[in-house]
């Protein structure tokens, strides 16, 4: 784990603790002004504790005093809870409310870093890997079905109707995403909207607070290869992030070099995430035959038997846009 990510996580946890303490002080002051009986109980507890400290300094036997104080404290806390409820407050209103109850926002638990710290550091690493991705540029609202109107597949199917179903599925998938959502294979020729819709899903899932990693397969594999063979700074473990993030989106499967290392890495990612029941979205320009030719049977089998397959059809949207721009240019020149 990189030191700077760890420090960032610890600063975040420290800020959470400071916030919890500030909020608690404000609640104590508020209740003290509105319920004088609670303020008096707290003053009595303070005086009792002060008297106990004097007895400790005198060297007297304090075992019974400590037990008496414990009983007093328990009774006082119960009285405070009852008074809070009587005045319309939750009974735990004066307790500290930490973001992480496990470590009480200290960042440490059981002699090591708490999971809240390691989770924050992991999220920072994911953010760094995604920093070049413009998630906001692609949304469901700016995905236009008009480019598929009047087009038909090679078998005579209606492209508009097919892509309308794909768009609906992706929108519902993002809207109801959970850690148990299914994996998706988006396949079809280039320029049909696979990247756009996978980014639209990523955008909504990120807004729900889940961790998402998005990039082309080749970029991820190159990074994993650098770290595997020691050509990258220590403290980064891209492969583990690919295996553990909430949603992994692998774009352009099949564009990477055909090497044994890449084959093994792709199988490891697909198989491990499947075993961990973590959803993955893969987009590719290849069909079943292409994937079967590019990868061994283990990869092909896992993808086509466990993923929801969405076929993208139509004509390259980028080509259609260019044709429309050229047509508008001709029309303008004739005016």
Q: Domain extents for the chain? A: 17-99, 133-320
> Residue 333: its pLDDT value, please?
53
At residue 55, the pLDDT reads: 65
State the pLDDT at residue 331.
54
pLDDT number for residue 243: 92
Query: What average pLDDT does the chain have?
Result: 85
CA distance linking residue 151 with residue 136, whole number of Å: 29
pLDDT-wise least confident of 104-118, 220-234, 254-268: 220-234
CATH 3.40.50.300 fits 133-320, yes or no: yes
Phi and psi at residue 229, in whole multiples of 5°?
-100, 15
How high is the pLDDT of residue 303? 92
Q: What share of the chain has pLDDT > 70, as a percent?
A: 87
pLDDT at 75: 87
Across residues 73-95, what is the average pLDDT? 89
Q: Write the pLDDT tens digit of every residue in 122-137.
A: 777 677 666 666 667 7
Mean pLDDT of all residues in 233-249: 82
In the predicted model, what is the mean pLDDT of residues 94-116? 89
**How far is residue 65 from each of residues 49, 52, 58, measured CA to CA in Å?**
10, 7, 13
Q: What is the pLDDT of residue 140?
A: 92
Instruction: For residue 278, give the nearest of 303, 244, 302, 238 by alpha carbon.
Output: 244
Residue 251 has pLDDT above 80, yes or no: yes
Residue 166 CA from chain centroid, whole number:
24
On whether the pTM is more than 0.95, the answer is no
pLDDT at 160 over 90: yes
pLDDT at 131: 65
Q: What is the enclosing helix (H) or strand (E) of 86?
A: helix 63-86
Task: List, for residues 56-73, the tens digit of each pLDDT value.
Answer: 676 666 677 777 777 877
Q: How far is CA 66 from CA 21, 44, 303, in A?
A: 27, 15, 65
Instruction: Read off the DSSP letter of residue 181.
Output: P
CA distance 30 to 34: 6
State the pLDDT at residue 5: 72
pLDDT at position 232: 56
Write down the pLDDT at residue 329.
55
Give the pLDDT confidence score for residue 3 in this predicted structure.
Answer: 73
pLDDT band, very low/low/confident/very high, at 316 (cuts 50, 70, 90): confident
Q: State residue 129's pLDDT score.
A: 64
Give the tokens for residue 232. 């990258």
Residue with more model confidence, 122 or 307:
307
Q: How far apart are CA 179 and CA 233, in angstroms?
A: 31
* Better-scored residue on pLDDT, 235 or 145: 145
Average pLDDT over every residue of 167-173? 97
| Residue 137, pLDDT score | 77
Say whether pLDDT at 174 is over 90.
Answer: yes
pLDDT at position 186, please?
96
């Amino acid at each position: 784990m990189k030191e700077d990510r760890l420090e960032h996580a610890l600063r975040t946890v420290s800020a959470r603790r400071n916030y919890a303490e500030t909020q608690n002080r404000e609640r104590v002051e508020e209740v003290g002004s509105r319920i004088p009986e609670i303020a008096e109980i707290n003053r009595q507890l303070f005086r009792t504790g002060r008297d106990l400290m004097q007895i400790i300094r005198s060297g007297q036997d304090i075992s019974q005093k400590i037990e008496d104080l414990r009983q007093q404290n328990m009774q006082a806390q119960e009285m405070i809870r009852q008074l809070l409820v009587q005045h319309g407050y939750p009974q735990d209103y004066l307790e500290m409310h930490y973001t992480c109850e496990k470590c009480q926002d200290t960042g440490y638990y059981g002699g090591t870093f708490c999971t809240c710290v390691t989770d924050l550091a992991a999220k920072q690493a994911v953010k760094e890997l995604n920093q070049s991705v413009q998630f906001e540029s692609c949304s469901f609202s700016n995905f236009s079905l008009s480019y598929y109107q009047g087009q038909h597949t090679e078998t005579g199917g209606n492209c508009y109707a097919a892509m309308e179903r794909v768009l609906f599925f992706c929108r519902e998938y993002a809207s109801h995403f959970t850690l148990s959502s299914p994996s998706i294979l988006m396949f079809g020729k280039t320029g049909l909207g696979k990247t756009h819709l996978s980014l639209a899903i990523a955008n909504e899932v990120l807004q729900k607070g889940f961790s998402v990693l998005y990039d082309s397969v080749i970029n991820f594999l190159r990074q994993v290869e650098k770290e595997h063979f020691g050509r990258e700074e220590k403290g980064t473990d891209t492969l583990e992030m690919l295996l553990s993030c909430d949603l992994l989106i692998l774009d352009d499967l099949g564009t990477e070099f055909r090497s044994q290392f890449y084959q093994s890495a792709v199988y490891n990612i697909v198989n491990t995430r499947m075993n961990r029941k973590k959803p993955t979205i893969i987009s590719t320009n290849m069909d079943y035959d292409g994937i079967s030719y590019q990868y061994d049977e283990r990869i092909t089998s896992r993808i086509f038997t466990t993923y929801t397959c969405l076929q993208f059809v139509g004509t390259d949207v980028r080509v259609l846009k260019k044709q429309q721009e050229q047509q508008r240019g001709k029309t303008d020149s004739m005016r």
